Chains A and B, each alone.
Chain A
Amino acid sequence: MSIKVLIDKCTGCNLCVKSCPFGAIRIINKKAVIELSQCTLCGACVTACKLAAIKLDKPATELAGNDKIPKIDDYNGIWVFAEQKKGKVQPVVFELLSKARELAERLSTEVSAVLLGYQLDDEAQNLIWQGADKVYIVDNERLINFQDEPYTNILTALIKKYRPQIVLSGATSIGRSLISRVAIKIHTGLTADCTGLDIDPEKKILLQTRPAFGGNIMATIITPNHRPQMATVRHKVFPANPPDKDRKGKIIREEIEDGHIVSRARLLDIVEELESTVNLTEADIIVSGGRGMGDGKNFALLEELAKVLNAAVGASRAAVDAGWMPYSHQVGQTGRTVCPKIYIACGISGQIQHLVGMQSSKVIIAINKDADAPIFKIATYGIVGDLFEIVPALTKRFKEILKSSNES
């Protein structure tokens, strides 16, 4: 490997100096000079240079062994992993398809969905209505439920075969397990839990923005020299387009090798605990309770409100640790991160560990008797008062309003 500055192109603009994480570049006589003893050949300066004045020669094969690495330009199209559960494509997939359409316009390319499962023809059609130009479908009884190994093998094989430039998946418990494994096998970059996706207008690469440190820092990440560019994306961040039943697309059936379907792990049982309520991460509205609820049985108040609003019930760590709600309902740093349209925090003071799990919600409503509670600092609307009075009043009022709007 070697790196050099093309002296005739370099204008000494200093961009490479700023980009170098190792302080290995200086400007001498208006030209960039790379101190090779400090340089790690990371390529950050190559990406930063607007004049293509730095040339990094990498050996054609790196870690991936002796596979011939295809060129970046050989990769085309945007893929969305169409996660399904019990034969139903998950809502986050439709959100990704509409975002993928927008990105595809800017790259003048097409959008494909990849669907693994069993007897999913109707869902494949649905994916076309929701924005896919093509649907690659792998239909096999043994793929009916997600399992890490066969899903990894098949998705990896399909990516190698068709070479999409971008692969997106929901940042779900399935997506985050599966795509992490696939990115290693493909040897490409993966950005977790993105909340922003954009295309760099000049370089035509994917700009992936994601929260870190519980949302206190945002980072924009690129995958400059590997393909596909892969990202998992948070639920509810991008709106889904309504289905367009006039949209036409192509359904492509993929045959798979028997070896790809072998799984060392065996799924014995699926237990649903949240059947009576709405899935927390997919909910448009969440009614959440904290220490101020005082007792587990008082969560019935929140459940009534949630029922009226078709909302899910969440809880702070304090409420879960007190045994009032199961851990699966916990919102916050050690629980789930949620991003609903409306988050109603009842008797939650707003410790930072809770806020990092819900502060990207569109509207936050806080109900707390302590006017100094930190939750009010981030709430869109706050009510200072007794939640045991306010929550039932809200339930009653919403019920009236929704009833009259249904009748009109």
Chain B
Amino acid sequence: MEIIVCIKQVPETTEVKINPDTNTLIREGIKSIINPFDMYAIEEGLRLKERFGGRVRVISMGPPQAESALREAISMGCDEAILLSDRAFAGSDTWATSFVLASAIKKMGSFDIILCGKQASDGDTAQVGPGISSHLDIPQVTYVKKIESIDNGISRVERMTEEGYEVIELPLPALFTVVKEINEPRIPSLRGMMKARSAKITLWGIGEIGIESAAVGLSGSPTRVVRIFTPPPRKGGQIFHGETSEVVDRLVQLVKDEI
């Protein structure tokens, strides 16, 4: 089974600040990690390989430093890693990002399953996974919490919804975005870490992928960010101490009109 996992490197914390002079995010001094949801995608890829054989290839679009995220994926057990990095990618929105990833995947040859985290913890859009499957014109299931079975090229999965879950059957190749409930990501083994250190990370830019620079980056992005700002911090309000019956009475009086 050919499995491709798409990952993104994100800042470890969501508590980021804006530089007021340049109106850009301050990223210096903040550690980078693999997007937490992508860890579940990597783990699920490895589990599918353990169940059905094959190989797991991991790809990421990002700056040259994103290589460290790919090495971490290899240390967990992924077989190969490709970094999609090119100055032309800068400023890509979800349309352009999913176009780059989909184009690279086409270049990677045949595949059975593409796995993505349900969303990234920095942008929170949840749009790139479905964007990739739309570009590739393959079926998708989002918010997958379980891959029940794969039999004769037909997969059966559970998709988390607001009320519970759906059971969906679909042919491969397909793309799944996964939620936390699907598994518990493994800790890299010592051997894995040794392997990751010397692993070759393939680097692809627009030339290798075979796409036009006008189709990616800001020029390939239909959306524009016109303003970023820090929301006014939510202030603390009234704090009550004291006798339970008294504080409960006061609180209920204050909020009863909202109910």
Task: Judge if B36 is at the interface, Cβ distance under 8 Å.
Answer: yes
- Residues facing B in A368-408 (CB within 8 A) are 371, 376-386, 389-390, 393-394, 397-398, 401-402
Contacts of A220 in B (CB 8 A): 225-229
Type the 1/0 row for B124-168, where 1 means its CB is closer than 8 Å to any CB of A.
111101110111000111110100000000001001111111111
Contacts of B140 in A (CB 8 A): 148, 177, 181, 265
The residue that A268 contacts in the complex, of B139, B156, B223, B244, with Cβ under 8 A, is B156
Which of A173, A223, A272, A342 has most B Cβ within 10 Å?
A173
Q: Within the assembled complex, what's the spacing in Å between the Cα atoms of A1 and B215? A: 12
Smallest CB gap from A40: residue in B: B219
Task: Judge if B251 is at the interface, Cβ distance under 8 Å.
Answer: yes
The residue that B14 contacts in the complex, of A188, A216, A398, with Cβ under 8 A, is A216
The residue that A381 contacts in the complex, of B37, B156, B255, with Cβ under 8 A, is B255
How close is A301's CB to chain B, nearest CB, in angstroms? Answer: 14
| B134–A152 touching, CB < 8 Å | yes
Task: Judge if A10 is at the interface, Cβ distance under 8 Å.
Answer: no
Contacts of A333 in B (CB 8 A): 14, 36, 121
Task: Judge if B43 is at the interface, Cβ distance under 8 Å.
Answer: no
How close is A180's CB to chain B, nearest CB, in angstroms? Answer: 4
| A265–B231 touching, CB < 8 Å | no
| B214–A1 touching, CB < 8 Å | yes
Among A41-49, A102-110, A157-165, the stretch that binds chain B is A41-49
The residue that A40 contacts in the complex, of B15, B125, B218, with Cβ under 8 A, is B218
Q: Within the assembled complex, what's the spacing in Å between the Cα atoms of A29 and B122? A: 41
Q: Within the assembled complex, what's the spacing in Å between the Cα atoms of A356 and B134? A: 30
Smallest CB gap from B227: residue in A: A220
How close is B60's CB to chain A, nearest CB, in angstroms? Answer: 19
Smallest CB gap from B247: residue in A: A383
Contacts of A280 in B (CB 8 A): 162
| B166–A270 touching, CB < 8 Å | yes
Q: Within the assembled complex, what's the spacing in Å between the Cα atoms of A365 and B238? A: 10
Among B64-72, B75-83, B91-99, the stretch that binds chain A is B91-99
| B244–A265 touching, CB < 8 Å | no
Interface residue count on the A side (C-beta < 8 Å): 104
| A222–B134 touching, CB < 8 Å | no
Which of A40, A223, A401 has most B Cβ within 10 Å?
A40
- Residues facing B in A295-314 (CB within 8 A) are 309
Q: Within the assembled complex, what's the spacing in Å between the Cα atoms of A35 and B139? A: 44
| B15–A216 touching, CB < 8 Å | yes
Given contacts A327-B180, A382-B237, contact A213 B223 (CB under 8 A): no
Given contacts A265-B170, A342-B258, contact A352 B240 (CB under 8 A): no
The residue that A271 contacts in the complex, of B164, B169, B258, with Cβ under 8 A, is B164
Q: Within the assembled complex, what's the spacing in Å between the Cα atoms of A177 and B127? A: 7
Contacts of B238 in A (CB 8 A): 380-382
Smallest CB gap from A177: residue in B: B142
How close is B12's CB to chain A, nearest CB, in angstroms? Answer: 11
Interface of B, secondary structure class, is mixed
How close is A359's CB to chain B, nearest CB, in angstroms? Answer: 6
Type the 1/0 row for A277-292, where 1 means its CB is closer than 8 Å to any CB of B.
0011110010000000
Given contacts A217-B18, A394-B248, contact A273 B165 (CB under 8 A): yes
| B223–A223 touching, CB < 8 Å | yes
Contacts of B254 in A (CB 8 A): 381
Contacts of B228 in A (CB 8 A): 217-220
How close is A344's CB to chain B, nearest CB, in angstroms? Answer: 9
Task: Judge if B239 is at the interface, Cβ distance under 8 Å.
Answer: yes
How close is A112's CB to chain B, nearest CB, in angstroms? Answer: 22
| B230–A273 touching, CB < 8 Å | no
Q: Within the assembled complex, what's the spacing in Å between the Cα atoms of A327 and B129? A: 22
Q: Within the assembled complex, what's the spacing in Å between the Cα atoms of A378 and B239? A: 11
Q: Within the assembled complex, what's the spacing in Å between the Cα atoms of A274 and B88? A: 46
Contacts of B109 in A (CB 8 A): none
| A183–B95 touching, CB < 8 Å | yes
Task: Judge if A95 is at the interface, Cβ distance under 8 Å.
Answer: no
Which of B16, B241, B247 has most A Cβ within 10 Å?
B247
The residue that B126 contacts in the complex, of A43, A185, A192, A386, with Cβ under 8 A, is A192
Task: Judge if B112 is at the interface, Cβ distance under 8 Å.
Answer: no
Task: Judge if A5 is at the interface, Cβ distance under 8 Å.
Answer: no
How close is A368's CB to chain B, nearest CB, in angstroms? Answer: 10
Task: Judge if A62 is at the interface, Cβ distance under 8 Å.
Answer: yes
Type the 1/0 row for B26-54, where 1 means its CB is closer than 8 Å to any CB of A.
00000000001100000000000000000
Given contacts A189-B223, A341-B258, contact A378 B244 (CB under 8 A): no
Which of B95, B174, B235 has most A Cβ within 10 Å?
B95
| B236–A382 touching, CB < 8 Å | yes
24 A-B residue pairings within 8 Å (CB atoms): A173-B161, A183-B95, A192-B127, A193-B124, A212-B124, A217-B25, A223-B222, A264-B170, A268-B167, A269-B166, A272-B163, A272-B164, A273-B164, A279-B162, A333-B14, A335-B180, A342-B259, A363-B258, A379-B237, A383-B248, A386-B244, A390-B244, A394-B251, A397-B252
B residues apposed to A, CB below 8 Å: 11, 13-16, 18, 25, 36-37, 88, 90-91, 93-95, 98-99, 121-127, 129-131, 133-135, 139-143, 145, 156, 159-171, 174, 179-181, 213-215, 217-231, 234-241, 244-245, 247-249, 251-252, 254-256, 258-259
